Structure 1
Amino acid sequence: MKLHMILSIISILFILNLSACSKEEIKYDGEPLKIAVIGDLPELNNEKIHFESISLKELSEDTVQISTNYDAIMITPLMFEEASNDRFVEVYTSTKIPFIFFDSEKRNLPFTNGGLTYESARWESLKNGSHTTIYLSDINANREDAWYFYLNDKKELDVLYKEIFEKVEML
């Protein structure tokens, strides 16, 4: 009976340890960031990064409030096709915080240009090898900028996230 109880306790502790380690540790130590996410929430472990799920509808209905409450907006592959609809182009090109198009092989182009969707945008013409793009538009200065982040055999995903968060902090 005691052996059974000890094994049960060890099993529970093992499972708790696994679940605690399931989130990827990100070594970002800059200013705290609050990031709105459209799509899948990243499973990251860093007390300075706070993700909050929002919808495309929320984004398009209240860009001023979202720009005030968040440091950036991340869009993940789950939502690329819907997020690339022409009705959102103006949102991306007029909102004053950075958009992170995470794991977008087609960069920001299907989202910030009318007449394209993520599915219809020709991959070959958009290929630059980047993994993620941060896009920021400043309509008052008549300018738009994009920063590209690369993931390869030598760079781990946690390093990529750290670079993205450091750029968002700078912006």
Structure 2
Amino acid sequence: MRNIILNSLIILIFIFVTGCTSNADTVDTPLYSGKSLFIGVVGEVPKIREEHVHFTSISFEELEDYSKLSSNYDAVVITKEHLKEADDNKYVKVYTNAGVPFFFIGATKSFMPFVLEDVSYEHYSLTNFNNDMYVTGYFHNGEKFRSWEYGLYNGKVNEPNIKNVYSGMFTTIESIKNGTYE
């Protein structure tokens, strides 16, 4: 009998402790609820929460014909596995003339290695850049440029936090599409 009471007490304490702790690794943010978006992606198509955001896989060769990007896509995403190739000098004119925003997933060193010639992502360092970022974005409309940084909640790399970053990114893309970005 004493073992049953002791075991029951241990189970109740365990339930109380695990049930009352908060999950500090994630935060619930609103879904992107704006207009449908069409995004080109170099790399693997990400898992997202929104059903009205559509990704199409594209290659670096397709990026080189940047005059067609703005008529086909609202933005372009380049995944972490392709950042080294993305900083090739031949793509600088793509990022600065395509008329769509580019988002570099997993880029912890700013957008600058991608838009400046002869600057290598691998060797680039910027002392004032927050390397806790998960995504850096860049948009040039011919007159001025704008950049964005998106970090993960509490710096934790997990699926809910990554999906939250994408939702924020989609809001930015819509503001660019509508001409309301700052």
* Same-fold call, TM cutoff 0.5: yes
CA shift, 1:157, in A, is: 2.3
2:17 — aligned with what? none
CA shift, 1:149, in A, is: 1.3
- Match among 26, 31, 35 for residue 31 of structure 1: 35
CA shift, 1:126, in A, is: 6.0
1:149 — aligned with what? 150
Identity across the alignment (%):
32
Q: Which amino acid aligns with 2:153?
A: N
For 1:131, what is the secondary structure of its paired residue? Answer: strand
Q: TM-score, normalised by structure 2?
A: 0.72
- Is the alpha carbon distance of 1:84 and 1:126 closer, same or farther for their aligned partners in structure 2, counting shifts above 3 Å? farther
What is the CA–CA distance in structure 1 between the aligned matches of 2:124 and 2:111, rounded to whole Å?
A: 11
Of the two, which has the highest radius of gyration?
2
CA shift, 1:132, in A, is: 1.0
Matched, 1:127 2:129: yes
1:58-97 matched pairs, under 5 angstroms: 58-60=62-64, 62-97=65-100
On the 8 A contact 1:35/1:52 being kept in 2, the answer is yes
CA shift, 1:100, in A, is: 0.8
- Per-residue CA shift, 1:17-70, capped at 9, x if unaligned? xxxxxxxxx82211100100012210224211101110111111x212121010
- Match among 99, 104, 113 for residue 101 of structure 1: 104
For 2:154, what is the secondary structure of its paired residue? Answer: coil
Q: Which amino acid aligns with 2:129?
A: K
What is the CA–CA distance in structure 1 between the aligned matches of 2:106 and 2:42, rounded to whole Å?
A: 13
What is the CA–CA distance in structure 2 between the aligned matches of 1:39 and 1:126, rounded to whole Å?
A: 29
For 1:44, what is the secondary structure of its paired residue? Answer: coil
- Per-residue CA shift, 1:100-121, capped at 9, x if unaligned? 1122101211101111222121
What is the CA–CA distance in structure 2 between the aligned matches of 1:27 and 1:106, rounded to whole Å?
A: 27
What is the CA–CA distance in structure 1 between the aligned matches of 2:80 and 2:162, rounded to whole Å?
A: 16
1:9 — aligned with what? none
- Per-residue CA shift, 1:58-93, capped at 9, x if unaligned? 111x21212101000001111100110111111111
On the 8 A contact 2:49/2:163 being kept in 1, the answer is no
CA shift, 1:133, in A, is: 1.5
The two structures, once aligned, show a CA RMSD in angstroms of 1.8
